[in-house]
Amino acid sequence: MGPPEKTDTLRQEDATETGGGRKRVVRFELAPSTMLAVVLAAAGMWVLFRLLPVVLVLVTALIIVGTVNPAVQWLEARRVRRGAGIAIVFTALFLITLSIITLTIPALLAQATSLLDQEPALRARLADLLDNSRLTASFAESLRNIHYDALVKSFASMLIAFSARIIEIFAYSVSAVFLALYLMLDRDRLRGWLFAAVPRSHHMRLSRVMMNLERIVGGYMRGQVITSALMTLFMFILLTACGVPSALAISVFGGLADVLPYIGVILTMAPAVLAALSQGPVVTVVVLVLMLAYEEFESRVLVPRVYGRTLRLPSAVVLFALLAGGTLGGIVGALLSLPVAAAGLMLIEELRIELPGERGKAEHAEMRRRDDFHEQEYQRRAGSLPAEQAAAIAVEMSRSRQGKKGSPSRTPEAPDKK
């Protein structure tokens, strides 16, 4: 008989001390397979870190696919070919993006030019207001003696660095759009490759996970659209009532900037407040106070309710996920925190992971019974079909099951209990 296989062990050995006593020696022994797994995991993390921009492009492409796919399916249901539906949706998105850029950028540049032209008068007016009080008189004198040479030089260097970053982000964004287009055009083949790499006993679960991920992404993007549209509407009403010029362009830009966490507050409020300076200090203060009030209402009330309903997350989980994502990953982490949290809860449910306080619940046994039945039904229908056709059957069965979920009557495909 050969020597026993070496595994990870924690051995306790006795050694004799010089004074006649005995001490216990603890020795850790790692098997070669464990050391190899640790090395491979470390190498994988290093490669993932080096390829982080590529991973973000892939994630962005998948988000685009999950966002536009419901519209393509809606067109397919009305007998529009998939290729034509994809072309219609992406063309509509391109035209909407071009319209928004055409509407906002020239108006914002004109507003910035107007503010630069009015800057001496606005600065003199502010200095006069500060000069009326003894506490702020020194600030008024400093404001009158401001020199812009150093500021212009630093701003120019920052603008050059920022422009390079903008070009890089634009290139990655275009790559993500084209990757999403290729993923949608070659959907059946790519899905077949994915299902071919997974054992057939897990095909139904994989199809449910993919369908729920699409629902999560779609719900997240719908939530973004709702909050951005409400911000745009609020800003347009406020700026129009206050007589601020270019109200529509500033409102559209503010609604788009509202998508960004943290810096979105600054990008949303700054153009509105700067544009209100031309209407006097009273209007400027009114715009500032009302914008701050709406930002607080949105973050405390609107965001938890909208995303809690679309992503099926409790309000406390929404706020915690935003804070944790922003702390760990900055702006990108905050943007991805809500879909990641919703995906994590979905995986716990779909993988039938029993939490410590939910063990032994009757619902879990019923779900497992239904899962087993659908696995057997899928094996019967898919049989020895190619992976691409089997994937289509699994997706069809998962959608049928999702559509019938929640019905008060007995599910027709569930087996009768004899």
pLDDT (0 to 100) of residue 149: 58
Asked if residues 337 and 261 have their Cβ atoms less than 8 Å apart, the reply is no
Split at pLDDT 50, 70, 90, the class of 190 is confident
CA 47, CA 43: separation in Å to the nearest integer?
6
Whose CA is closest to 202, among 404, 394, 410? 394
Split at pLDDT 50, 70, 90, the class of 410 is very low
Residue 373 pLDDT > 70: yes
Asked if residues 271 and 108 have their Cβ atoms less than 8 Å apart, the reply is yes
Residue 296 pLDDT > 80: yes
pLDDT (0 to 100) of residue 13: 46
List CB contacts of 154: < 8 A, sequence separation 6 or more: none
Split at pLDDT 50, 70, 90, the class of 152 is low
List CB contacts of 183: < 8 A, sequence separation 6 or more: 61, 62, 65, 190
Residue 335 pLDDT > 60: yes
Percent of the chain exceeding pLDDT 70 equals 77
pLDDT (0 to 100) of residue 14: 46
Minimum mean pLDDT range among 36-40, 157-161, 280-284: 157-161
288-302, 303-317, 370-384: range with highest mean pLDDT: 288-302
Cα-Cα-Cα-Cα torsion 125, 127, 132, 134, nearest 10 degrees, comes to 170
Instruction: Identify the residue with better confidence: 238 or 126.
Output: 238
Cα-Cα-Cα-Cα torsion 112, 117, 121, 125, nearest 10 degrees, comes to 0
Taking each helix axis from N to C end, the angle separating 203-241 and 303-310, rounded to the nearest 10 degrees, works out to: 150
Split at pLDDT 50, 70, 90, the class of 408 is very low
Cα-Cα-Cα-Cα torsion 101, 103, 105, 109, nearest 10 degrees, comes to 170
pLDDT tens digits, 228-237: 889 999 999 9
Whose CA is closest to 313, among 274, 348, 281? 348
Domain ranges for the chain: 54-126+158-185, 199-355+376-395
Amino acid present at 387: A
**DSSP letter, residue 299:** I
Residue 416 pLDDT > 50: no
Amino acid present at 260: L
Residue with tokens 């920052």: 158
Residue 85 pLDDT > 80: yes
pLDDT (0 to 100) of residue 406: 44
Residue 250 pLDDT > 90: no
